[in-house]
Chain A
Amino acid sequence: MSIEETIREYILENFLFTDDQSLLSSEDSFMEKGIIDSTGILEVIFFLEEKFNVKVDDDEMIPENLDSVKNLVAFVGSKA
């Protein structure tokens, strides 16, 4: 499974309670769409750190890194 597929599956299953791929576009803003709040972002960070073995620094906790599937994929890719 690709990084994007893994992240999409995690978001769909844990925040939207569905496997319907059409409910989440890769560019959807989690905050603007009300998919994930600030506590949810901590859950996403926990997931990234466990699943991809990356460390998310305080300075990296910004929407540009974490607020959509697309941003998450790019962020994890930048850590590789």
Chain B
Amino acid sequence: MIELNDNALSIDYEKEADRICDFLRTTLRTELKRRGLVVAVSGGIDSTCSAALAVRALGKDKVFCLRLPEQDSTKATGDRSQILVDHLGVNYETHNIAGTLEAIGCYKWRDEAIKKVFPKYSADWKNKIVLKGGLEGKYNHFVLVVQTPDGELLEERLPLNEYLTIVAATNYKQRIRKTVEYFHADRLNYAVIGTPNRLEYDQGFFVKNGDGSADIKPIAHLYKTQVYAMARHLGVPESVCDAIPTTDTYSLSQGQDEFYFALPYEKMDYALWALNHQIPAKKLAEYLNVSKDQAELIYKDISTKRRTTAYMHAKPFLVDDVLDF
């Protein structure tokens, strides 16, 4: 009988690394017909692990990494991505996309929407959006948090139009990055790696035609806990493996759990695993030390996100089948 316990996510990392690397080589050879891999490295653990797997699969000379900061990226993520590319010994390019984002209107659209909620907001304030509701039995909705230059934190529920505009504007970041990735992939005749972990892939935590776009996603089946362990198994420097999951998209520090997931990743992993293995909510509640009602809300939140983000995985819908490829 399958039981929810601390070993639920344990796997043989050496075997799994071999399996993933075989998959990368085979897919490049038989499906993609490309001779290497492009990986954009953010300084987070997912792209770190993906890049390390790519190098293990193909060798450092067939992997090209990209560091793509913008004006809201932190120094810490930039430092970690630099340590990683130095450690891997790969060819890489650093391309600051702030100028492109400025030209296309990303910051202008975002800031104008923020000003409709906080009229005094200006460039020297910081901002982030925070998800609320799901674990309290309410509808998920976003709250805008800003910090004045004096350090005062203010927050307001985001009205519909401002919410949609801020998300649409910040989605430019992932989409411009992907455009740069495909430029280099085309130039080198390489394929592009997508770096979602299982939580992100399952729960739709990506931007369609942004970070969701890729030719191959080598860690989409691994829970985040396993991604950390895999990175350590592959010998990635500890200073990079220590990365705390952030979106690195908004100027105020923002954990992935407050932006999107109901719980910190360590707990979300087990909740998702438990749901995937039909573990009753009562057992999940005991394991996470929460009430049965809260465990049921966690399951419901996971199912809701699956349903509402399903379209992001979908190909364009056609009236008739055109060709069976």
Give residues in A with beta carbon < 8 Å to B. 31, 34, 37-39, 41-43, 45-46, 58-59, 61-63, 66
Contact = CB atoms under 8 A, between A and B. Distances in A.
A31 B138 CA distance: 12
B140 A38 contact: yes
7 contacts: A38-B308, A42-B163, A46-B159, A58-B138, A58-B141, A59-B138, A62-B138
Interface of B: 132-133, 137-141, 157, 159-161, 163-164, 304, 307-308
Interface residues of A: mostly helix, strand, loop or mixed? helix
A43 B164 CA distance: 10
A31 B159 contact: no
Contacts of B159: 42, 46
A45 B133 contact: no
A67 to B, nearest CB: 9
Contacts of B141: 38, 41-42, 58, 61
A58 B160 contact: no
Contacts of A41: 139, 141
B308 A37 contact: yes
Contacts of B161: 46
Contact of B157 (A34, A58, A66): A58
A34 B307 contact: yes
Nearest to B163: A42
A45 B159 CA distance: 9
B258 to A, nearest CB: 16
Contact of A61 (B139, B163, B307): B139
Contacts of B160: 42-43, 45-46
Contacts of B163: 42
A62 B307 contact: no
Given A41-B141, A42-B159, A63-B137, 17 more contacts: A34-B307, A37-B307, A37-B308, A38-B141, A38-B304, A38-B308, A41-B139, A42-B141, A43-B160, A46-B159, A46-B161, A59-B138, A61-B138, A61-B141, A62-B137, A62-B138, A66-B139
Nearest to A38: B140
